[in-house]
């Protein structure tokens, strides 16, 4: 698997499981048509039609592309961490049962953990 070179901030979040400050990420208020991929390995993670504005300060999605990410207990013991199923990079956290979206799921994902690939227009 080919891994992209990461900036120190991307490494802090993806490898060391950090979090970018809320309301600072480039994808928080971005709503283009396309696919969000893992910044480290390029694995497709989220389709743009699953993105919604939750007001939490991070890009929010209501479901991942099937098989693209794994859920695991966060080291704090309270939250569920989302990691890329290909490279294991830290993406963010998922919260269930809050009522923010029709699927009742909110994936708070760090902008530095993802890249956006625009939909190809025909």
Closest CA to 116 of 39, 62, 21, 55: 39
Strand order across the 114-118 sheet: 44-47, 34-38, 114-118
Catalytic pick among 38, 84, 87, 108: 108
Q: What is the largest CA-CA distance in the chain?
A: 46
DSSP state of 19: -
Extract the runs of DSSP E, i.e. beta strands, from 7-75.
34-38, 44-47, 51-52, 60-61, 69-73
SS3 call for 13: helix
For residue 108, indicate whether it is catalytic.
Answer: yes
Backbone angles phi, psi at 61, to 5 degrees: -130, 155
Catalytic residues: 108
């Amino acid at each position: 698997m080919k891994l992209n070179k990461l900036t120190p901030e991307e490494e802090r979040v993806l490898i060391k499981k950090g979090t970018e400050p809320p309301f600072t990420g480039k994808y928080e208020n971005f709503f283009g048509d396309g696919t969000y991929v893992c910044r480290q390995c390029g694995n497709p993670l989220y389709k743009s039609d699953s993105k919604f504005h939750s007001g939490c300060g991070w890009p929010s999605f209501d479901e991942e592309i099937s098989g693209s990410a794994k859920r695991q207990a966060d080291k704090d013991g309270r939250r569920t961490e989302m990691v890329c199923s290909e490279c294991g990079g830290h993406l963010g956290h998922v919260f269930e049962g809050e009522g923010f979206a029709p699927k009742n799921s909110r994936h708070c994902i760090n902008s530095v953990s993802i890249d956006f690939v625009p939909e190809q227009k025909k």
